[in-house]
Structure 1
Amino acid sequence: MKTALRKIFAPLLKGLESGTEPYHYKPLSRKILLFFGVTFVGLGALAAYLIPADADPGYYFPVIVFILAGGYGLLVGLLGEDRAVAKIWGNK
């Protein structure tokens, strides 16, 4: 299942997993990335829930940003290689 999902999301993961330079990976970095991914998706969902039905459509911009950022963090945290997680945190 993981390999099929990695193939589907390869265009998003490819940039973070490419390269030959050395990197420093800590297992805690992946856990923190997953935590922040869940937090951002949760904040986006909460904001979407709290926006009144007759509100201006501009209120949904932060919702979209938070959900996309959290989703990308979850994607890299769950499917990405160690190099991808290290690149997210800037560890070289």
Structure 2
Amino acid sequence: MKQLFRSIFSFILTPLEAGNEPFAYKPSHRKILIAMGLMFTGLGVSVLFLMPKDEFGYFLPVLIFGGGGILSCVIGLVGTDRSVAKIWGTKP
């Protein structure tokens, strides 16, 4: 199942997993990335359900927070240690 999601989201994961420079990774980085992804996704979904139906200006926060949250969840759940370290920008 993980390989299926890795192949679906390969256009996101491939640039983050490229390279062979050293990186610093801690398991807590992955947990925090997933937690932040869930919070941002929840914020985007809540804005989507709470927005008035006749105003389209609310779609910008939905796209930004929802997209960022989904991206964080994908990288945190199916990405390698290198991709998580690149998101955090950690170097040894």
Question: TM-score normalized by structure 1?
Answer: 0.95
Deviations 1:42-85 (A, max 9, x none): 00011111101122x12211111111000000000000000000
In the other structure, the counterpart of 2:32 is 32
- 1:61 maps to 2:23: no
State the one-letter code of the partner of 2:42: G
Q: Which moved more, 1:2-11 or 1:15-24?
A: 2-11
State the one-letter code of the partner of 1:80: G
Q: Distance in 1 between matches of 2:70 and 2:17?
A: 17
- 1:79 maps to 2:84: no
Query: How far did residue 4 of structure 1 move?
Result: 1.4
Query: How far did residue 25 of structure 1 move?
Result: 0.2
Q: State the identity %.
A: 48
SS at match of 2:58: helix
Unaligned runs of 5+ in 2: none
Q: Distance in 1 between matches of 2:20 and 2:46?
A: 40
Q: Distance in 1 between matches of 2:22 and 2:76?
A: 20
Question: TM-score normalized by structure 2?
Answer: 0.95
Unaligned runs of 5+ in 1: none
Q: Distance in 2 between matches of 1:3 and 1:54?
A: 41
Query: How far did residue 33 of structure 1 move?
Result: 0.1
Moved beyond 6 Å, runs of 4+: none
RMSD of aligned alpha carbons = 0.7
SS at match of 1:58: coil
SS at match of 2:23: coil
